[in-house]
Chains A and B, each alone.
Chain A
Amino acid sequence: MVARVIYNKEVLPTYYLLGLGYGGRTAPSPGQFYMLKVNRGIDPFLRRPFGAYRVIRPDNGEDAVEILYKVVGKGTMLMSELCPGDGVDLLGPLGRGFHLHGGRGKHIMVAGGVGIVPFYILAERLICQEAGRAVLLFGGRGKEDLPGLGDFGKLGLVVKVATDNGEVGRRCLVTELLADEITGDSVVYACGPKGMLREVAGIAAEKNVPCYVSLDRVMACGVGACLGCAVRVALPPSYAEHEEGRMDVQPYKMVCRDGPVFDSREIEWDKL
């Protein structure tokens, strides 16, 4: 499934926005991702996973599914060199995204850096479903680490920013914003670095509110076949005696197929 590049622009240093011809594809649900093969040939060898950032339907021009990405290595470096008209092989949308808790209380999205990606579509859905209050907490090192920030302003949700250097928003960690923001009727959605997710999960657990995290693992197939992207899950205590004897309950789930979004209580955070 080859998609054409419509645009590929640097939105911040090392952050790019790639528009791919949408052409009547299945719409991605919030948190779903694509496996992209950005290069011909075998260097790099594997596909790379990228979340669906937005689907744009301009009045004129071609519909685009947008990939918002950060250049971190060989594959993303090659991606940054894609030009309009180039082909990109796209598999997806894949995986299970965020479960929408309709109506209930306060919806808090916690994003770290490029972890912002799944929240545009999620925010759209939350707003469209009038699902209570929606808040985005967005953390980064500085103002150049907050890709897409401008896009969220237009959506009309509450956006609070934390930066390490205080350039934008509060000078603190995004988890500190969460600690202030969280209420007993909150639902938390998080995407970002492992350390941040663990912290977020801890805060949510303390308040005993639902928390969904999107995990990042190296992937090969993206469809649950290779069993490479495993994460260790905490078996619910009820299973422990009854089922483990049968060795039948799998202690691993696949990020690509069972996730990338998981209930934070499911994850064995120490083994991540």
Chain B
Amino acid sequence: MTFKTKLEVFEGPLDLLLHLIKINEVEISDIPIATITDQYLEYLDLMRALDINVAGDFLVMASTLMHIKSKMLLPKQEDDLVEIEDPREEIVRSLTEYMQLKDAANELTSRDVLYRDVFKRGIEIKRGEEDIATTKVTLYDLMDAFKKVIRKKHPGIVLKFSAESWSVKKKMIEIIRILKEKKNLLLGDLFSTMESVSEMIATFLALLELVRTGFVNVFQGKESSDIMLEAIK
């Protein structure tokens, strides 16, 4: 081994290269390509020896380095000496670009980052019919929702769906029936016997509809913090 390094985890080949350049104390614009390539390959061997999975990205860089190394070894031709680009040029360019961006990333984290250094008002205002289970929608939410819908179609391993589909209308009738018998009911009790998510959703939508249309009143008990339901006559 010609160099020693503590085994660090590098995010990618560019990180490893930068590290090697740093410990060799060489300039990025004048990389001793033979040395760096050898050390790079040694490092990959070390990773393999330690049974660390070497990602394909590292191998691509290895072959690039070896290619540059072989090009550098070619005898220079007098006539096109001026014209030919330094074979290291390509790698210097990406390293420089990468360093710039790492630098910018450092600068970004040095700002007053929301939720880390500074905080905004933490209010959650409840309102109207869409009180519960509300999310601010982004395109990602949209896709996520779609995936969930598709998954719902195929009975999952964890969730058991009964054959019937739940109708909000039926659930509304059911809630009214229960409230006529019991006068009032804890919200949690309404859902306690339900196993399927779709039944819960249907029940919930039914409840919202009943509240909205003024058939059911939702309130919080004085003593307990549980939400109670009662029928409005």
- A, B co-complexed: no
Binding site for B on A (CB under 8 A): none
Binding site for A on B (CB under 8 A): none
